[in-house]
Amino acid sequence: MSKTNPLHKGRKNIHAWYGLALLSVAAIGSVTAGAGIGHASGNTATDCLWAGSPHPQGAAISAGGWNFSCGTGANGPRWILGAATGAPSTVPNPGAATYPTGQFSDGALQPGTDYEDYCVGTEMVGGGEEMYEATLDDTGTLYWKAAGPISQWTFAPGTGPTPTSSDASLCLPDQ
């Protein structure tokens, strides 16, 4: 059974099946990584990851209306949030659409997607209503943690928050 996001305690996680799919992908990834397929280059011990691309210590990027710099946290590479900016994003922002491990380093922000949808009773709450931060838990596992309303994320012109594709029928009354 996968570890649940502590912010979603008491909420029904509609993506329980997703953990099994990720285990399959992880197994395939560990086999292909040795062959160099899909393996990011750079120093993974010190580089910060953003959408799977490594950035060296001290690198500065802009994403979603925010400045970030690659630094070091207590547990390794970490994106340090800087000031808000009007500059366009300098990196891709696919959204918090999968587990962040291997794609983002601690401290990265992304707009929410239907991956973070959850139920409160029989009501579906869309994950796209918030932005999420890649956060390490006590065991060193990286997960997405709600970090603020989606209104704090600046989207590229012609884009915007991802509407949920989940249906409230997936939400069951508490029993």
pLDDT bracket for residue 1 (50, 70, 90)? very low
Dihedral angle of Cα 93, 96, 100, 106, to the nearest 10 degrees: 70
Asked if residue 18 lies in contact with residue 5, where contact means CB atoms within 8 angstroms, the answer is no
pLDDT in tens, 10-66: 333 333 333 333 333 333 333 333 333 333 456 768 999 999 999 999 999 999 999
Amino acid at 10: G
Does residue 171 or residue 21 have the better pLDDT? 171
pLDDT in tens, 89-136: 999 999 999 999 999 999 999 999 999 999 999 999 999 999 999 999
pLDDT bracket for residue 6 (50, 70, 90)? very low
**DSSP H or E stretch at residue 22:** helix 16-34
Average pLDDT score over the chain = 80
Asked if residue 111 lies in contact with residue 128, where contact means CB atoms within 8 angstroms, the answer is yes
148 has a pLDDT exceeding 90: yes
Beta bridge partners of 55: 48
Kindly give, in sequence order, each residue whose CB lies less than 8 Å from that of residue 47, ignoring residues fewer than 6 positions away: 54, 55, 56, 57, 70, 77
Query: Phi, psi (5° rounding) for residue 23?
Result: -60, -40
pTM of the predicted model, to two decimals?
0.74
